[in-house]
Amino acid sequence: MKKVYGSAAQALDGILFDGMFIASGGFGLCGIPELLLQAIKEAGTKDLTFASNNAGVDDFGIGILLQTRQVKKMISSYVGENAEFMRQYLSGELELEFNPQGTLAERMRAGGAGIPGFYTKTGVGTVIAEGKEHKDFNGETYIMETGLFADLSIVKAWKADETGNLIFRKTARNFNPPAAMCGKICVAEVEEIVPTGSLDPDHIHLPGIYVHRIVQGDHEKRIEQRTTRPAA
C-alpha cells in the first residue's frame, strides 16, 4: 500500500468533506500539523469539528481556520493564546467543549482502542461533570467520559518510514500519538521519511498500522513564549 504523497493537498485528496470531525495533534505550538491545516484551509472545507489540545494562535495552527470561519466546534483543553477564538466563542459564533488535558488525551486513546467510554475522577464536582453519568468505585465518585472517534486524524511527526511507522520528538509526543489513533483515516506530515527497516523498532512511538498517508515537508519552528534575560 502506497502511503507517501507528494504534498499535503494530495495526501488529503478524496478525504475532506463539510461537517467532518477532525482530531489534530499538537501541544502549544509544538507538533502542529501545519501543512495539513493549510491544505484544509485552501480546500475550503467548512463546518468542521476539531478535537485538539489547543486552537493554535491567531495566525498559526487551527487559528488559520478560525480566521476563515471553517471551524464550527472545538473540543479543547487550552485556548488562552488565541484572540480570534475568544471573540468567536464570546459572540456565540463558535461552539466549545472544554476537556481536562488528561481526559482529552484518554478520550482520543480510547477511541483508537475501540473503547466507547471510561470512568475518571477528573472533573467530579465541576461544570465538566454536568450531564454525565456518575458512578462510585471503592467509595470514590467517578464520571463517565466517551471515547472520541474522528473522521480524520492529522498529526505531525519528526521521522517516518515508508510504511508509516512514526517517531515524535520530545513534547510533540504529548497529543500526536493518541490523536493519530482515533481517526478512521490518519494523515501524518513529517520532517523526514527514511527507508523501511531503517528505524529501530524499539524507538517507534506509533506503529504504521494507524497511519494511512504520509507527506514530507518543511516546517516552521515557532516559539510560543519567548523568555530571555539580560546579558551579563
Q: For the segment 12-48, what is each residue's pLDDT rounded down to a tens digit?
A: 999 999 999 999 999 888 899 999 999 999 999 999 9
- Return phi, psi of residue 114, to 5°: 75, 20
Predicted confidence at residue 218, as pLDDT, reads 84
Please give, one letter per residue, the 3-state secondary structure of 135-182. Answer: EEECCEEEEEEECCCEEEEEEEEEEEECCCCEECCHHHHCCHHHHHHC
pLDDT (tens digit, 9 = 90+) per residue, 79-131?
A: 777 888 889 999 999 999 999 999 999 999 999 999 999 999 999 999 999 99
Q: How far is CA 83 from CA 17, 50, 149, 219, in A?
A: 27, 18, 29, 24
Looking at residues 209-224, what average pLDDT do you find?
A: 87
109: enclosing H helix or E strand: helix 101-112
Looking at residues 172-183, what average pLDDT do you find?
A: 96
Q: Do residues 205 and 165 lie in contact, with contact meaning Cβ atoms separated by under 8 Å?
A: no
Q: Do residues 97 and 72 lie in contact, with contact meaning Cβ atoms separated by under 8 Å?
A: no
Q: Which residues contact 60 (CB under 8 A, 6 or more apart)?
A: 29, 32, 34, 220, 222
Other Cβ atoms within 10 Å of 15 Cβ, number? 20
Predicted confidence at residue 230, as pLDDT, reads 87
Predicted confidence at residue 29, as pLDDT, reads 85
Tell me the fold of 4-216. Answer: Glutaconate Coenzyme A-transferase (3.40.1080)
42: which 3 cell numbers? 485552501
Looking at residues 63-87, what average pLDDT do you find?
A: 91
198: which 3 cell numbers? 531503517
Predicted confidence at residue 25, as pLDDT, reads 95
Q: Which residues contact 222 (CB under 8 A, 6 or more apart)?
A: 29, 60
Predicted confidence at residue 92, as pLDDT, reads 93
pLDDT (tens digit, 9 = 90+) per residue, 129-171?
A: 999 999 999 999 999 999 999 999 999 999 999 999 999 999 9
Residue 178 CA to residue 153 CA, distance in Å, equals 10
